[in-house]
Chain A
Amino acid sequence: MVYETIFDRSKGAKYRLMGMKCKKCGRVYYPFQYICEDCYGHEFEEVSLPRMGTIHSLNLIPVPPAMMMDKVEYTGPYYTVMVDLDTNDEVKNTVRLICQMTDLPYPVDLTKAWLPAGKDENGNELPARWADDVKIGTRVELVFRKQFVVFDGGVKYGINARLLPDKEGGE
């Protein structure tokens, strides 16, 4: 059983993508920080994080554990990605977070997403690797999306990543 308050108290971070900025040294953390890792400062202010970023690392989960099935929007193969957010005048260090990829043609075809080892056209050996559309270094945008429905019908939301529109065919 999960109580609503668990989600309510983190909704700034989870729904509005707010980070915490150390008033002393300016380092920004996501989601929470109470003592600065860098300068031991302990006064923080909320700051809105940039919504563009780059995939830092990723994985593709074919089937979630059955207990989590009702928790993820896509129960088929789905990507979870670690995203390095861009920096700006207010957020000067790279903030990283984990989220799910959204707005893809789900379910993802696993055989096309993770390519087995083989050879390129010149006969050079290629290791098993990610396909070109979603891989480390791909630019993404963070958007607000429905995440899952809890036992009593309450809908939970979160921040998800999606490919930039031009990747999808030049919108």
Chain B
Amino acid sequence: MNTNREGAHQYAEAFGNGSSGPRRKRIAMFAAGTSAMAFGLAKRGWLPKLLATGGGVLMYRSVMSEEPIQTYFVVSNTINKPVEEVFAFMRDSKNWPRLDADFEKSFQGSAVNGLAENDQELQLSHEVENRSLRWQIREIEGENEIGAQFSPAPGNRGTEVWIFAECSIPTSPVRKLFKMTAGSSAEQVAREHLRHCKQLLEAGEIPTTQGQPVGSRGIIRKAKRVMMREPAVEEEKRPSASTAEPISKQKLAAS
């Protein structure tokens, strides 16, 4: 499923239910660091200043250091196609790069372009025809697994698909927060890949606006580009034909 350069790691960086161990440790580090810093800054002398510096380091490490977090998430969608067709599409790893078309454009080459790299990271470990698929994530120790389950949707509405991931990947709270805000958390990436799968199977294409014309963007907009998943399209300096003059009744040719 996953074709980004970070490969399966993206799926594992979910903000879903994770082990609370690292979180408690980080909170304790942050609290201790804050206390030490506050105490150190409130007192005079080199020892308190040293304590404050140490507190600062602790605070920094509590939010920036990357430690493995066991995460788990499930995303689902209904695809208006028979179970056999959906299962066959998702089982065939040659289809995976097609799901990442948008991301490939968005991150300008950061996405994985071929099957080979996927094969290095994901290995089909278990399958029950038209029921479930499981892939093992290579190069990561412990319980690291991505799976898909399939079931006919009621009311002849196609196939219900669930994608689940359970793995332990190093990440920091700041990085996790940024990805959540930008809509590129592991869960969201999985959700988007599943949506793209649905779009390809149902509509035959993944809808896009990348490459369409736009007017001049402001500075803030440029900063938001990553969040909106737009590529840095060429933006020429364009003349504005805007006018602030009111339209007179003579100019308005009423029908």
Partners in one complex: no
Residues of A within 8 A of B (CB): none
